[in-house]
Structure 1
Amino acid sequence: MSEVVRGKAHRATARVKRFFGEKRRRPSSPVSSMRSFWGLLLAYWLSNRWRDAWGLTILILLLTGLSAQASVWFALTSGELVNRIANFHHPTVPTTPASLLKTAATLAAIAITRDAGFTAVRHFLSTSLHRKWRQWLDERFNQALLDSSHTHFHLQQNGFGGAGEANTSSPDNIDQRVQEAIRGMTGGAIGLGIGIAGVVLSLAFVGGKLIETSSPIRGLDVLGGYGSAFLTLLAIAIYVPLNTFIAAKLGGILQGLSIRIQSAEGSYRSELNQFLRRSFHVAVIRGEPAQKALNVRRYQDIDYTWARLNRITAGYMGFELVHNFIGSRIVAYAPGLLPYVDKTISLQDYVTGAELATALINECSWFIHAMPDIATLRADARRITELAEAIETVQRPQDYYAQSGPAAFEYTIAEAVEGGLTIHSVELLHTGEDEPFLTAIELNFALGEWTLVMGESGSGKTSLLKAINGLWPHGRGKITLPDGLRTLFAAQEVKLQGVCLKDLVCLPDDAREHKDAAVSTALEEAGLHEISGELFDEGREGQQWDKLLSGGEKQKLVLAKVLLLKPGLLFLDEATSALDGQAVQAFYQAIKENCPEATVIAIMHDTSSIQSEGGIDFFDSVLVIEGGIAEKMSISAWRSAQTNAPLR
């Protein structure tokens, strides 16, 4: 093989891989590092946004440290205030009103600085970090889902809870995972990080001061002056971990219920979305009673899980309140009571030690206070990592589909410039089935050839077009595409994105690549004169084009796209079903005149308009699908086979 031929073959193979998202080695998605809990939590700090992430994190840690130090100042000043109150009527050195007010004002200033200063500013910085982190994750998942390999489409093809292994099912409610789960996870993770930092810094600042202000304890002479600190830290070391263990057990139950209610909510939400999409059909058949019963069944799982969650949450709240009371009123004050009774410390030192112990208990008990949030955090993180894992798996669609059925399509590019579209030994299968529902032994579509696809509903016409375009999951066979031709697939049901009219006509091209006049001309030639001057509008009076345009107008918009982009390979899946006979003729006549070299494969049920007004056939051949077999014949042979039979 010459260098020129080898080079051309290499470029052709690369185009196939780009078109169908296939690569020789397993590609990585933008969320590949987020398939584990810690990978998800650390990805932002290791990304190209690390300066924002670490800058805000350091400031938050600094304010957390200042808040912990302020707790020490608060405890010391509280002890001093109590002591001054106790000595207000002292016979020899009474407290003066001025000194009492000064100490009270100092205590208030410390509290205001800590709460309104350090804590409030830290909250602002943490919410800013939350916003930036969530925005980055949303951006990464959007890049992963909306890539050129159509990951968003492939993810939904195996069907959640459908046939095949559980781990091959599509993730449910992708919208909830990308929006609500990411928002909850990022907020919960930042709170968790601040809590851990608070515990560590409080142990350093508050614990250090507790040891510094320690006093001897009768019976613990071996510890010297660290007796009271030892008793306090021992009490905290026993009390807090024990209650944290209980909280962790309850938190595990809460986590399981949180995951279950998210799944139940997702199932109900999915059903409501499906219902709203088929609202018209439900109204036509008066199917509201059946839909109502279905909604009730979906909601029952939510209600049952929510009731259990409420019981556990109420029990947890009671446990937390009891923990707080015993910790701040008994555990904090008991260790210092012995030296105070023995008169080895003053009332001021006793109150100061108790306040320090209370502050330390509160900080170390953060896990107990936040356990329900931690449970929700882990549930949210699990939903996100599941989505990231599914996205990574789908980077090679055929490998993904192969987990639930045969997926052995081979896509190549015709090397010769005159090569057309060729289908060799193609079999299409449904998920979980081994027998093909459609077989195409050998089909050839020459460049510029127009082919009409005929067959009963459900025979596999649309499935075949999807398979040619790499959008059918299961099957086998070889599909060879012509080299260097733009491909356009027009589906029967047109769903328009919420963008301006020019974007709708130009997609997938960037609208800036086409002149406004050319787009307006295409719209006019397609029969959309009345909107051809509204290129930069996303709709009218608050409604998008998808709601404003009728089915026929949407199909004319598809024609405008064809006339503008001039594809070389055009697939039309009942793309004229909403047009009358005259409009159908105009549709195909416009393509004939503007795209004379295009290869067209069109599915039609009503063939009454497959000829021009002059009686000339638009199509050169007919692909008939019958009995699970696809066979191609000339238009004249097909007409002969239809002798004395009405056109379908």
Structure 2
Amino acid sequence: MAIMTKKPGKSAQWGAVWQLIKPYWRSEEKWRAWGMLTTIIILSLAGVYLSVQFNEWNRVFYDALQNRNYPVFKAQLFKFTWLALLFIVIAVYRVYLTQGLQMSWRRWMTEEYMEKWLTNHAYYYTEYQHQVDNPDQRISDDLNSLTSGTLSLVLGLLSSVVTLFSFVFILWSISGPLSFAIASHEFTIPGYMVWFAILYAAVGSAIIWSVGKPLVRLGFNQEWFEANFRFGLIRIRENSDAIALYHGEKNEHDQLTGKFDSIKTNWWSIMRVTRRLNIATNFYAQFANIFPILVASPRYFSGAIQLGALMQISSAFGQVQDALSWFINAFDNLASWKATVNRLAGFNAAIDQVNAQPRGIKVSQNAEHALKLDNLTLNLPDGSPLFCNVSAAMKPGERVLVAGPSGCGKSTLLRAIAGIWPYGAGNVSLAEGKRYLFLPQRSYIPIGTLRDALSYPDTDREYTDEQLQRVLEQCRLPHLAKTEVLDDYANWSQRLSPGEQQRLSFARALLIKPDTLFLDEATSAMDEETEHRVYSLLLSELPETSVISVAHRSTVAKYHQHCWQFKNQENGPCGFTASAILAE
């Protein structure tokens, strides 16, 4: 996980938004997805139809009250009962199906994005180049917000459009014309309540947009600050031992305080904008309750319409006004959704950019050598050369030591061999159809049972307890070679010391038995006697395995047959020589 030093605040274009949304609806699950969406839309239309029925019910019911017509009053109560029950059933299953569609969409997108992120080492390049901040949040939170927000906004807009067209004709027909005179000129506005509703919603929408527009940017920043603060807390948990030894609590506290101050400052900005937005939206909503009655009351008091018609006008006006006010009602959700889209669009673009980058180093296979380098040049990301035009080869079963001063590119060489270092030129050729295993200085140990951690990355291969216990005992980890410990679920990178972690990685190598083993300072946390033990195990247990070791200790040389030596040169890249190591 990386923390960006520069805030990514670009707004995604609508074309990029469509690129995020459309894949699921064209995927192998499209028929199921469109079927669920169609059912939800039908239920939404049925809900609008019932709203029209309720509107007509208002007129008949209140006319019955005004005329003291008890039989009609009783009949309308019965009609209301079955309308309400039907409305409840439709509302419940519309929400139920929407939630199901949301989870199906989220599951599909999560699988796609995980595949995209983990393919071609995109996760490594985006992290190394600091192109994406907090990718875990993008996949876990933002995909959830995208799917739920998109469905909510689209279905809400559809419902509003259908409601508008359904009720605008009702409001037009029942509101009648409005006649008035100005300077002896007579004016008549047909369906005047419709025009008042449009004007009311237009003015309100313009005010809400001008007041609430900053929330899009502030919401984006808030997620960014929250993720950085959360990352700081995780870093303390992951490095608790080192921080405690350094007594770095004050420094960590100051850093966390600084990160939280950013959260607090941005939150106060959100509060100020939200306060103004709430003033505008609440005034708009409250005044909307009385506005249609005020506008229609002259016709009621003149006797042109009865109480039922007045209530029907008020209800129809409310429906039209709500439909026209979709933007106002959905503004908060729309602002959050747009911030989510901006983050996902940036994440998507970063992965596409990484995958489109040319790979200067070609990795191929051969049938003769365990490893062959042909005119290999490695550069730093800024283009500075580490070393140039290196050619070397190791045969199956050979053991090679890579030595040289720090910063000359020894570890980078292993990254290039693994196919994850794109900066440079030349060719790397590996033995065809063989198994490779890389043991870095800080071995990766996944959270889970010890048996899973020991056999990683062979999660699909079963090893017996006897095999696991044997390699643990061979690598001087007898306290872990117990059945109950093998099944213990824990964060082993926290429970084991650096030396124990490196011994565990050697036990992993003995278990997996790779054809070629790459060691990058893999014994740096061990004492010399333990180092001698694990290297001797490699010679005795894996005699046919090719080994290439990066190490600074001269004591490692005796376990190898050849040495690839890098040397610093003035004003230029490192020099390279290959030589045999004489047996003692």
TM-score class, shorter:
0.7 to 0.9
Q: Quick check: 1:505–1:557 contact (8 Å CA) kept in 2?
A: yes
Aligned to 1:604: 551
Aligned to 1:375: 335
Q: CA deviation at 1:177?
A: 0.9
Q: CA deviation at 1:103?
A: 3.5
Q: Which one-letter code corresponds to 2:330 in the other structure? A: A
SS of 2:331 mapped into structure 1 = helix
SS of 1:423 mapped into structure 2 = strand
Question: 194-203 or 291-300, which moves further after superposition?
Answer: 291-300
SS of 2:426 mapped into structure 1 = strand
Matched, 1:576 2:523: yes
Q: Which one-letter code corresponds to 1:158 in the other structure? A: Q
Between the aligned partners of 1:309 and 1:431, the Cα distance in structure 2 is 39
Q: Report the TM-score, using the length of structure 2 for normalisation.
A: 0.87
SS of 1:38 mapped into structure 2 = helix
Matched, 1:413 2:373: no
Q: CA deviation at 1:368?
A: 0.5
Aligned to 1:264: 225
SS of 2:392 mapped into structure 1 = strand
Aligned to 2:321: 361
- How many residue pairs were aligned? 560
Aligned to 2:17: 37
Q: Quick check: 2:379–2:423 contact (8 Å CA) kept in 1?
A: yes
Aligned to 1:182: 143
SS of 2:127 mapped into structure 1 = coil
Aligned to 1:316: 277
- Stretches of structure 2 that go unaligned for 5 or more consecutive residues are 1-13, 182-187, 569-573
Residues 115-151 of structure 1 show CA distances to partners (whole Å, capped at 9, x for unaligned) of x33323322222222222212211111111223x222
Between the aligned partners of 2:269 and 2:54, the Cα distance in structure 1 is 41
Aligned to 2:43: 63
Between the aligned partners of 1:490 and 1:371, the Cα distance in structure 2 is 52
Between the aligned partners of 2:257 and 2:481, the Cα distance in structure 1 is 47
Candidates 635, 639, 644, aligned match of 2:581: 635
Candidates 383, 400, 407, aligned match of 1:451: 400
Q: Quick check: 1:81–1:103 contact (8 Å CA) kept in 2?
A: yes
Q: CA deviation at 1:466?
A: 1.4
Aligned to 1:141: 113
The 5-angstrom pairing of residues 105-504 of structure 1 reads: 106-107=79-80, 110-111=83-84, 113-114=86-87, 116-147=88-119, 149-159=120-130, 170-213=131-174, 215-218=176-179, 230-330=191-291, 332-396=292-356, 398-399=357-358, 408-414=360-366, 417-432=367-382, 434-439=383-388, 441-504=390-453
Aligned to 2:5: none
Q: Which one-letter code corresponds to 1:429 in the other structure? A: N
SS of 1:146 mapped into structure 2 = helix
Aligned to 1:223: none
Between the aligned partners of 2:378 and 2:240, the Cα distance in structure 1 is 32
Q: Which one-letter code corresponds to 1:348 in the other structure? A: G
Q: CA 1:500–1:293 in 2, change beyond 3 Å: closer, same or farther?
A: closer
Q: Quick check: 2:369–2:394 contact (8 Å CA) kept in 1?
A: no
Q: Quick check: 1:492–1:575 contact (8 Å CA) kept in 2?
A: yes
Q: CA deviation at 1:548?
A: 3.9
Q: Which one-letter code corresponds to 1:84 in the other structure? A: A
Candidates 558, 562, 567, aligned match of 1:626: 567
Q: CA deviation at 1:310?
A: 0.9
Between the aligned partners of 1:458 and 1:67, the Cα distance in structure 2 is 69
Q: CA deviation at 1:532?
A: 5.0
Percent identity, please: 24
Q: Which one-letter code corresponds to 1:408 in the other structure? A: G
Aligned to 2:185: none
Q: Quick check: 2:63–2:307 contact (8 Å CA) kept in 1?
A: yes
Q: Which one-letter code corresponds to 1:81 in the other structure? A: F
Q: Which one-letter code corresponds to 2:559 in the other structure? A: F
Between the aligned partners of 1:78 and 1:229, the Cα distance in structure 2 is 23
SS of 2:213 mapped into structure 1 = helix
Q: CA 1:539–1:367 in 2, change beyond 3 Å: closer, same or farther?
A: farther
Aligned to 1:593: 540
Q: Quick check: 1:151–1:394 contact (8 Å CA) kept in 2?
A: yes
Q: Report the TM-score, using the length of structure 1 for normalisation.
A: 0.79
Q: CA deviation at 1:352?
A: 1.0
Q: CA deviation at 1:595?
A: 2.5
Matched, 1:95 2:69: yes
SS of 1:76 mapped into structure 2 = helix
SS of 1:333 mapped into structure 2 = helix
Matched, 1:54 2:26: no
The 5-angstrom pairing of residues 491-530 of structure 1 reads: 491-509=440-458, 511-512=460-461, 521-528=470-477
Q: CA 1:74–1:62 in 2, change beyond 3 Å: closer, same or farther?
A: same
Residues 440-498 of structure 1 show CA distances to partners (whole Å, capped at 9, x for unaligned) of 63333233221222334444321221122222242333323333332211111112113
Between the aligned partners of 1:609 and 1:424, the Cα distance in structure 2 is 26
SS of 2:320 mapped into structure 1 = helix
Q: CA deviation at 1:86?
A: 2.8
SS of 2:559 mapped into structure 1 = coil
Q: CA 1:369–1:231 in 2, change beyond 3 Å: closer, same or farther?
A: same
Between the aligned partners of 2:55 and 2:168, the Cα distance in structure 1 is 12
- Stretches of structure 1 that go unaligned for 5 or more consecutive residues are 1-33, 88-93, 160-169, 221-226, 400-406, 611-616, 640-648
Between the aligned partners of 2:320 and 2:179, the Cα distance in structure 1 is 24
Question: 250-259 or 98-107, which moves further after superposition?
Answer: 98-107
Residues 401-451 of structure 1 show CA distances to partners (whole Å, capped at 9, x for unaligned) of xxxxxx62233333xx3334232443333322x332344633332332212
CA RMSD of the aligned region, Å?
Answer: 3.0
